[in-house]
Amino acid sequence: MAKENIIAFSQAHAEPEWLQVRRQTAFDKISELKLPLIQRVKLDRWNFGNNDITESLDSSNVPDFTNLGENPKLIQVGTTTVFQQLSPDLANKGVIFTDFYSALEEIPEIIEQYFGTALPFDEDKLTAYHTAYFNSAAVLYVPDNVEVNVPVEGLFYQDSDEAVPFNKHVLIIVGKHAKLSYLERFESLGKDSVKNTANIAVEVIALEGAQVKFSAIDRLGSNLTTFISRRGRLNKNAQIDWNLGVMNEGNVVADFDSDLVGEGSHAELKAVAISSGKQIQGIDTRVTNYAPHSIGHILQHGVILEAGTLTFNGIGHIIRGAKGADAQQESRVLMLSDKARSDANPILLIDENDVTAGHAASIGQVDPEDMYYLMSRGLDQDTAERLVVRGFLGAVIGEIPVKAVRQEMIDVIESKLDKR
Contacts 24+ apart (CB under 8 A), 407-414: 408/217, 409/217, 409/245, 409/247, 412/217, 412/219, 412/245, 412/247, 413/247, 413/274, 413/389, 414/386
The mean pLDDT value for 316-334 works out to 96
What proportion of the chain, given as a percentage, has pLDDT over 70?
99
pLDDT value at residue 319: 98
Q: 35 pLDDT exceeds 70?
A: yes
Distance of CA 387 to the CA centre of its chain: 26
For residue 409, pLDDT beyond 90:
no
Concatenated DSSP letters of 18-61: HHHHHHHHHHHHHTTSPPP-BTTB-GGGS----S--------S-
pLDDT at 57: 76
User: What's the pLDDT at 417?
Assistant: 81
Taking only the tens place, the pLDDT of each residue in 91-147 is: 999 999 999 999 999 999 999 999 999 999 999 999 999 999 999 999 999 999 999
Identify which of 78, 36, 38, 83 has the alpha carbon closest to the alpha carbon of residue 64: 83
Q: What is the pLDDT of residue 182?
A: 97
Question: Mean pLDDT over residues 142-164, rounded?
Answer: 95
pLDDT value at 214 more than 70: yes
Beta bridge partners of 341: 309
For the ranges 40-49, 61-70, 156-165, 250-259, the lowest mean pLDDT is seen at 61-70
Q: What's the confidence (pLDDT) of residue 365?
A: 87
Query: According to the model, what pLDDT value does residue 337 have?
Result: 86
**Whole-number pLDDT of residue 420:** 66
Say what the pLDDT of residue 302 is. Answer: 95
pLDDT: is 413 or 132 the higher one? Answer: 132
Highest mean pLDDT among 168-177, 298-307, 339-348: 168-177
